[in-house]
Every structure is written in structure tokens, then in C-alpha cells.
Amino acid sequence: MAAGLVNTSHPRVPGVREITRTRADARRRPLRNRLALITPDAEQTIVHAGGWLFDQALAGWEVTVHVVQDCDVRPLEILGAHPLDFDCSMKSHTDDGPWPQALAVCSTLFEADERVRSGVLETLDSVRADLRLWGPTRPLELAGRCRTAAYELSFAARAFKRRAFAAAGLAPETMTTTETFLLGSPITSNGGLTAAI
């Protein structure tokens, strides 16, 4: 297997952090803002949320991307994210561990995976974290509970997103400089996250 691939049957692939190490880091640095993205694969993240992800990492957030399918994670690393295996994350999740201040979820996973759906609805109800959904669909179930917002990428995010597109083998002419999200909790006026500090 090539380095930099997420493989759910082999969680110790080079380039992919172990969830236990990530949680230990979060406990050692409790004041650092954490953003967790849940995605079916790296490609959807890059296309729909890659520039925003980069801007959050550049602003000092610890960004983890929990990937469901086996995929090349190098494009996510180019954007400043730490890729993790979604199933390993779910199996080792405990309520007493550190919780991210922000959560971003692919809308197709919200519709396809009951664990993701219930987690999103619980986050909306508890306002436990800033929440945004991204992706090709807009779930009808969230109508009235979320608002749509566009995020204009910084020039640095555009450059790194272009590199991630190239690493993923995506056509650069399809890259957009604006990404659209469904927001489920307070967000700052410039489209960034509301810091918990």
C-alpha cells in the first residue's frame, strides 16, 4: 500500500495519525481550538471545503479530517489537516474526551450514515460546537435550522487549494474561490469560526 492512503483495515498507515495520539495531544493543549471535519473521501473535502479548511488551519486551529473511505490523504495534508480514519474515531469515542469547538460535516454523509445524522442533530440541539455542513446536497431535514452562507477564500487558501486539486488529480479549472455552507450555530460576521477562547 502506498504511503499517505487511508485504509480502514490498516490504521497505522504512514501519514495518518492515530486517534489516540490526536486525543492525547488535545488533552495536553486544552486551549487550542479544534475543528473536526467528517467526510466520505478527500476529494469531496477539497472541492467543497478545502479553502475554508486551509484558512482555519492557517488561523491556528487544529484541523482533523475523519475520512470514511480509503483514499489518498496527501491533498488534505497540503491544506494543513491531520487525516484520521472515521471508523477508528467512532469506535474510540468517549464523552469524557476533548470535544472540538467546531464540526464540519459532508451533507451526503448526514443523509447516508445514521451515526453522523444523530451526531449533527445532537450538536444542533446542544450547541456543543459551531456546526456547518458542506457538499453537493442540502438536507431538507435541516431546513429552518440552518442558514446558507458563502465563504470567500483568502489568496493563500486559493493557492493551497490549487495544489491540493493537483495532488488529487482534479481539474484546476473546476476550482471555485467561494465555498458554500449550511451554518447551524453562531459564526463570526466574516464567515470564520467563533473562537471558544
Residue 180's CB: how many other CB atoms inside 10 A?
Answer: 15
Distance (Å, whole) CA 102 – CA 183: 11
Q: How, if at all, do strands 178-183 and 147-152 pair?
A: antiparallel
CB count in 10 Å sphere of residue 183: 16
> pLDDT digit string (tens) for 77-124?
999 999 988 887 777 655 556 678 899 999 999 999 998 898 888 888
Percent of the chain surpassing pLDDT 90: 46
Q: Is the per-residue pLDDT at 149 higher than 70?
A: yes
- pLDDT for the residue numbered 19: 56
**Closest residue by Cα to residue 147 from 184, 108, 117:** 184
Q: What angle do CA 37, 163, 102 make, to 5 degrees?
A: 15
Q: Is the pLDDT of residue 31 over 80?
A: no
How sure is the predictor about 136, in pLDDT bands with cuts at 50, 70 and 90?
confident
> Helix H segments across 139-196?
155-168
> Which stretches does DSSP call E strand in 87-197?
102-106, 130-134, 147-152, 178-183
CA distance 153 to 52: 6
Task: Please tell me the least confidently modeled range out of 25-29, 52-56, 106-110.
Answer: 25-29
- Beta strand 102-106 with 130-134 is parallel
What structural domains does the chain harbor? 32-183 (3.40.50.10320)
Q: Which residues pair with 57 in a beta bridge?
A: none
Report the mean per-residue pLDDT for the chain: 80
Q: What is the crossing angle of helices 155-168 and 42-58, to 10°?
A: 150
